[in-house]
Structure 1
Amino acid sequence: MIRRFGEPPEPGRHYHRRPGVYALLPRNGQFLLTCQYDPDPDIQLPGGGIDPGESPLPALHREVHEETGWSISTPQKFGIFRRFVYMPEYDLWAEKLCHIYVARPVQRIAPPREKNHEAIWTDASDAVSQLGNPGDRFFAAQLNRLKQHR
């Protein structure tokens, strides 16, 4: 069973399954996150949908680069969750299957290519409260706990 975060699905509403990949990017006690400004400011783990025919790891590299301008290395699967949401940018009700990876941010190559996104560095402990959705917050907290016990 895949853990669900957020609102339960509405009875009778059709949701499009939308698999995606998202990255926890720790470095020197901080996380590299993205702020999406449209429709409202929202702090998120960098990532997004897996395109048809695309594999998860290439999608992860592409999405992180598009939303932050950074390259990453050594992605490791960390978890998965789902959430049921309306995606206004696509006018779509979606069941998002969010595959979470931990990766190392290597180098800023360029500014974010994704419109209305900005890469931000946040103290790892602050990231948990700043992230906009409960699934992202849960996995950021899990990673923080693991790092404290090492």
Structure 2
Amino acid sequence: MIRRYGERVDPAMRYTPRPGAYVILQRGADVLLTVQDGDAPELQLPGGGIDAGEHTLPALHREVMEETGWRMDKPRRLGVFKRFVFMPEYDLWAEKICTVYWSQPTLRMGPPTEEGHHAIWVPMVEAPALLTNEGDAAFVASLL
């Protein structure tokens, strides 16, 4: 059984499955998070949706580069959770199936390439309270 976080499921709503990969990038006592700008900025684990025909790990490496500007070592899978959310950028009600990994950053290539994102280092012990998404927060807390 996959743990569910976030909004309650509306039985009248049709949700589209949206697999994604996310990573806890740890350097010493700190973790690298991404801030997604918008009306209500969100602090998140780097990562995102896996495109059609794309494999999970290449998608994760792509998303981390786009959202943080960093490369990372070989990610280790920690687990999976689900979220049922509205994604306004896609005008889509989604069943997000979030696979979470742990890794270490290896090289900063430059600033994030995805518009509306910037990366910040925060103390890992503070990250669960700062993360916008309960699932992200639970996985970081599980490593403390």
Give the superposition deviation at 1:39.
3.7
* Equivalence map 1:1-150=2 (5 Å): 1-144=1-144
Q: Secondary structure at the match of 2:135?
A: helix
- Residues 19-49 of structure 1, C-alpha deviations (whole Å, 9 max, x = no match): 0000001111000000001242100000000
Quote the RMSD (CA, aligned, Å): 0.7
Q: Which runs of 5+ in 1 are unaligned?
A: 145-150
Q: Give the percent of matched residue pairs that are identical in Structure 1 and Structure 2.
A: 53
Tell me the TM-score normalized by structure 1.
0.94
Give the superposition deviation at 1:74.
1.7
Q: Secondary structure at the match of 2:73?
A: strand
Q: Which runs of 5+ in 2 are unaligned?
A: none
Q: Secondary structure at the match of 1:71?
A: strand
- Residues 105-132 of structure 1, C-alpha deviations (whole Å, 9 max, x = no match): 1111011011100000000011110000
Give the superposition deviation at 1:96.
0.1
Q: Secondary structure at the match of 1:125?
A: coil
Higher fraction of helix: 1
Tell me the TM-score normalized by structure 2.
0.98
Q: How many residues align?
A: 144
Mapped partners of 2:88, 2:126: distance in 1 = 27
Mapped partners of 1:44, 1:74: distance in 2 = 20
Mapped partners of 1:57, 1:129: distance in 2 = 27
